[in-house]
Copies of this chain bind each other. A is one copy, B any other.
Amino acid sequence: MPNSFGHLFRITTWGESHGPGIGVVIDGCPPLLPISAEEIQAELDRRRPGQSEITTPRKEADTVEILSGIYEGKTTGTPIGLLVRNTDQRSSAYTEMKQAFRPSHADFTYQSKFGVRDPNGGGRSSARETIGRVAAGAIARKILAQAGGVEVRAFVTRIHDIAAPDGALAKFPTLAEVEASPVRCPHPATAAAMIERIKAVRSDGDSVGGVIECRVRNMPVGLGEPVFDRLEADLAKAMLSLPATKGFEIGSGFGGTLLKGSEHNDLFENRDGRVHTVTNNSGGVQGGISNGEELVFRVAFKPTATILQPQKTVDLDGNATELMGKGRHDPCVVPRAVVIVEAMTALVLLDHWMRQSAQNRIFSFPA
């Protein structure tokens, strides 16, 4: 269903930007995992607005309440209900949006599809919806870490046309390196330039986008369910289900099409007592199944649609009009999206791990 994601570790999100609250139900969580509200809150805090000078000045505490599924500090295997109350008031900032369609927003399409929409802050199409994903992702990440040391790390590689130098981000960055800068690029000089660019476009009432890379190390071998539920297919879907995303590539990606087969193929070798590939153009996935190498993929985010400049548009009756962006918005969503990319990645990996386990580990037959 449209608001559920995953098969065995399955989340269902609900909630509008300016309604009573936002939430998620997590179904299928393994029992006996120790988890606290604080651990979930820590990830929400990384996502919430108002963290730094380059994000929206809007303040919301985004405090999570655990409603079910956890007993005496441990999961019970029953559905986990999480709730975050919205505290920001329904503001007059959205009055005009009721009457006209914001360019490159979801106003027109929601109105066309459903015949109705909640215009306050984008309603269901708001990125606030991702709160539920991040909360669920916090639990998935903990399971991945405990069960196999799986580590998911996303970071910003480009903002507008400012990118880290070739090879500067080759090493798997630490969380501290990523979090060292509010722009979440682990290359300090590049991060500083990115921040300047974001401040500059903000002062023009404009916006920018960029690219996030996500890597996973200590990947289990065997995740991915061909032919349709290939690991990269489900990752692509997860990423393109995020607001403002326009592209996904794994391993060599679009650039890999410029290589010949003899250059692109990842040769196998025996290293450290295990089969490894010498290069990783595959990005950690072959034939739709993880091969144990680092998972590497990138996601493109368009510039924020809301800009504080007048734009031509039409109203609900189709008449030409002009709309001037108001309110407090991120001039660039990419730094905060890092947390969401990590959450979705964790959800995909855990779900596939459970699917893999269901088919392959429970029954063993005599040779």
**Chain B, residue nearest A285 (CB):** B109
Do residues A286 and B104 form an inter-chain contact, with CB atoms below 8 A?
yes
Do residues B226 and A230 form an inter-chain contact, with CB atoms below 8 A?
no
Residues of B within 8 A of A113 (CB): 77, 221-222, 224, 289, 356, 360
Binds B, one of A53-61, A166-174, A181-189, A235-243: A235-243
Is A15 part of the binding interface, using a Cβ–Cβ cutoff of 8 Å?
A: yes
Do residues A318 and B14 form an inter-chain contact, with CB atoms below 8 A?
no
A132-146 vs B, Cβ < 8 Å mask (1 yes, 0 no): 000000000001001
Residues of B within 8 A of A270 (CB): 314, 318-320
Do residues A353 and B362 form an inter-chain contact, with CB atoms below 8 A?
yes
Residues of B within 8 A of A175 (CB): none
Do residues A287 and B109 form an inter-chain contact, with CB atoms below 8 A?
yes
Do residues A74 and B31 form an inter-chain contact, with CB atoms below 8 A?
no
**Chain B, residue nearest A19 (CB):** B68
Do residues A108 and B268 form an inter-chain contact, with CB atoms below 8 A?
yes
Is A97 part of the binding interface, using a Cβ–Cβ cutoff of 8 Å?
A: no
Is A249 part of the binding interface, using a Cβ–Cβ cutoff of 8 Å?
A: yes
A1-39 vs B, Cβ < 8 Å mask (1 yes, 0 no): 111110110101111100111110101111111100000
Do residues B114 and A261 form an inter-chain contact, with CB atoms below 8 A?
no
A63-84 vs B, Cβ < 8 Å mask (1 yes, 0 no): 0011111010010111111010
Give Cα distance in the complex from A243 to B232, angstroms.
Answer: 11
Is A252 part of the binding interface, using a Cβ–Cβ cutoff of 8 Å?
A: yes
User: Of A13, A208, A228, A286, which is in contact with the most chain B CB atoms at under 10 Å from its CB?
Assistant: A228
A280-311 vs B, Cβ < 8 Å mask (1 yes, 0 no): 01110111111110000000111111110101
CB A273 to nearest CB in B, in angstroms, measures 8
Do residues B15 and A68 form an inter-chain contact, with CB atoms below 8 A?
yes
Give Cα distance in the complex from A13 to B26, angstroms.
Answer: 10
Do residues A225 and B2 form an inter-chain contact, with CB atoms below 8 A?
yes
Between A and B, 10 residue pairs with Cβ closer than 8 Å are: A1-B27, A13-B227, A14-B25, A16-B78, A20-B68, A33-B363, A110-B289, A261-B303, A267-B311, A354-B362
